[in-house]
Amino acid sequence: MDHGGGGASAALRKRALSVDTAASAAAAIALWSDKQKQQAAGGDVAAAGEEEEPVSPTGRLFREPSFRCHIVAVFGLGAPVDLPALRAGVAATLARHPRFCSVQRHSEDLQVLNELEKDARPKWVRTAVNLDDHIIVPELDPAATSAAPDRALEDYVSSLSARPMDDSRPLWEVHVLDFPTAEAAAAVALRVHHSLGDGVSMLSLFMACTRSAADPGALPALPPARRRAVLPRRQLSSSSFAGGALLDALVALAVWVLSLLVLAWHTVVDVLRFAATATSLVGDPATVLKGEEGTEFEPRRFVNRTLSLDDIKYVKNAMSCTVNDVLLGITSAGLSRYYFRRTGESDSRSVTVRSAVLVNLRPTPGIQALASMMESSKDNGARWGNKLGYMLIPFHLAKHDDHIEYVRKAAKVARRKKSSMESVFTFWSGDMVLKLFGIKAAAALCYGMFVNTTLSFSNMIGPTEQVLFCGNPIVYIAPGTYGHPHALTVHYQSYMNTVKLVLSVDEARFPDCHQLLDDFAEALRLIREAASGKQDQGSRDA
C-alpha cells in the first residue's frame, strides 16, 4: 500500500458519492427481519445439528497442520462503514450460506457420537451463528490510524495471519476498519478458512452478496465469457463439392489426431515433472525468492498496488494475447528486476523458478444460484467447495533489452500449458492417494510440491462496475492467502477499470516487499512503453 496519502484521503472524505446505500441497506434489513420471523416460528433449516455433509478431500487437506490455509480479502469502501447495514446484510447473506453456518465435526467426535459408523470422516454440521462472534470492530490507536493510516491498515490485516481461528464456530470473520486511507474512506477485511471453499467459490459468493451501485436492486455485471473463434470454412464450388468435403474431413481428422497426440504427450511430461517435484526428486534452486521449511507457520504481510487495466489491455491488444499472458509477463519482469537488484548477479545469467497454480475443475456456481441458496439456506444444486487441480508454471528470471520479450515468453508458456491435462491428473492422482493411503500421505505429496517450487500465482476476474456490499460502496478488492509453504504469493484481482496486485509475503524473507511492488509497477510501465513502440513501428511499416 502507498504510505503517506493524507491529502488524498482528506479529499476522498469530502467527495460526495452518487450511490444509494440506504436502499440496499433497507432491503437487507427487511430480508433479515423476515428470516428472523421464520426462525422464531421454527422454520429455519439452519438449526444446529440438523444437516451433515462430508468435508471434501481438498477441504480436509486445508485442515492439516502444514496447510492452515486462509483467504484474507480487504474491501476498500467509498464511505465510512454503515455498521447496522453491514450487520443486517451479513446476517441475510453470508451467515445463511450452508458453509458459513456450519462447523467441522472431526473423526474422533464422530466415533464418540456414533460408534457404529464405519466411515468416520470429518463432516460439515449446521450450527447457530452469533454475529457478534464474526463481525469484529477492533479498538485501534487513533494516533496510529491518523498519522499513518495505510500502514495501520496493512499492519492490522497482516496481524490476522498470526491469530488462530476458533474452530468451535464457523470459520469466518468480518473485521471493520472504519478509518480513511489514501485509497478508501474505510475498509472491511474478510478472513475465511480455505476449507470453506476455493477462491472461485468465494468470489462467486461475494458477488452474490453484492448489488450494483447504479441499481441497488440488481446483481452486478461480470465480464462476458470469452468465445472461441470460429474458423471460416473453405469455399467450395458445386462441381468439386464431394471431393472438397472428403478432403475437409480428412484434414479435420488429421488435425484432431495430431492435437490428441500432442495433448497426451504434454500431459505425460507434465505429470511426470509434477510427480518428481512432489516426491522431492527435483526442486527449484535456493534463491532470495524461495522460502525455507516452516515458512507456512510464519506471519504474512499483505501489500498491494493498483495497476491500470487499460494499460494491461493495451499490451494484450498489441501482442494479440490474453490478459493472463500479460499478467504472467509482468510477474516475470517484476521478479527479474527484484532478483537481479537484490543479488547483484550478472545480467547474462538466467534462472528458472516455478509457480504452483491452483485450477478450478468444477462449474463455477452462478451468482443467481448462490443468491437463491442464501435466501433459502438450502443447497439448490450449485456446486460449491474445493475441487482443485494443480499445474506448475515456469518463470524465467532474466534481463531483456526488449521488455515485450517477457510477455512473449509468458504467452508461449501459457499456450503450452493449455495443451495439457496436468491439472485434471493431479487432482485425480491426489484423490486416489487420499483414498488408498489416507490424508497424511496426500498432504505429504502436496507439501512436497509446494516446498520444491518457489511461489504461488493466481488471477481472478471481478465486477466490471461499482458494487455495494451490504449497503457499503466498494472502491477496491484486494484478496490474499496465507498458511501454505510458499514465502511469496502473487495475486491479481480485477475490479472496474483497475487490477489490484496483492503480494502475500514472509516478511523475514522479503523485508523490502514494497520495493517488490515498485518492481512490478515499473515492469508494467516498461512493457506498456515497449508495446506502444511496437505498434508505432507497425504503423510506419504499414
Determine the pLDDT at residue 63: 79
User: In the chain, which stretches have pLDDT less than 70?
Assistant: 1-52, 106-120, 198-200, 222-244, 347-348, 360-388, 535-542
Q: What are the residues facing 356 on neighbouring strands? A: 392, 456
Q: What angle do CA 446, 447, 453 make, to 5 degrees?
A: 95
- In which order are the strands placed within the sheet that holds 351-360? 300-308, 498-506, 488-495, 455-460, 351-360, 388-397
Which residue bears the cell 433449516?
A: 45
CA distances from 350 to 131, 398, 414, 521 (A): 52, 5, 20, 22
Determine the pLDDT at residue 49: 42
What b/e sequence results for 430-448 when a residue is b if at least 16 CB atoms lie within 10 Å of its CB, and e otherwise? bbebbeeeebeebbbbbbb
Determine the pLDDT at residue 372: 52
Using DSSP, state whether 240 is helix, strand or coil. Answer: helix
Determine the pLDDT at residue 194: 86
H/E stretch holding 106? none
Determine the pLDDT at residue 494: 93
Q: Is-contact 365 428, C-beta < 8 A?
A: no
Determine the pLDDT at residue 184: 96
Residue 158 CB partners (closer than 8 Å, separation 6+): 299, 300, 301, 302, 507
- Could you give the CA distance from residue 278 to residue 276 in angstroms, rounded to a whole number? 6
pLDDT in tens, 515-536: 999 999 999 999 999 999 876 6
Determine the pLDDT at residue 236: 42
- Could you give the CA distance from residue 102 to residue 97 in angstroms, rounded to a whole number? 9
How many CA atoms lie less than 13 Å away from 127 in the CB half-sphere? 17
pLDDT in tens, 142-157: 999 999 999 999 999 9
Determine the pLDDT at residue 328: 96
Determine the pLDDT at residue 257: 86
Residues with a known catalytic role: 194
pTM over 0.85: no
- Could you give the CA distance from residue 542 to residue 536 in angstroms, rounded to a whole number? 10
Pull the grid cell for residue 208: 452474490
Using DSSP, state whether 301 is helix, strand or coil. Answer: strand
Determine the pLDDT at residue 86: 94
- Could you give the CA distance from residue 248 to residue 264 in angstroms, rounded to a whole number? 24
Determine the pLDDT at residue 200: 67
Pull the grid cell for residue 510: 522479503
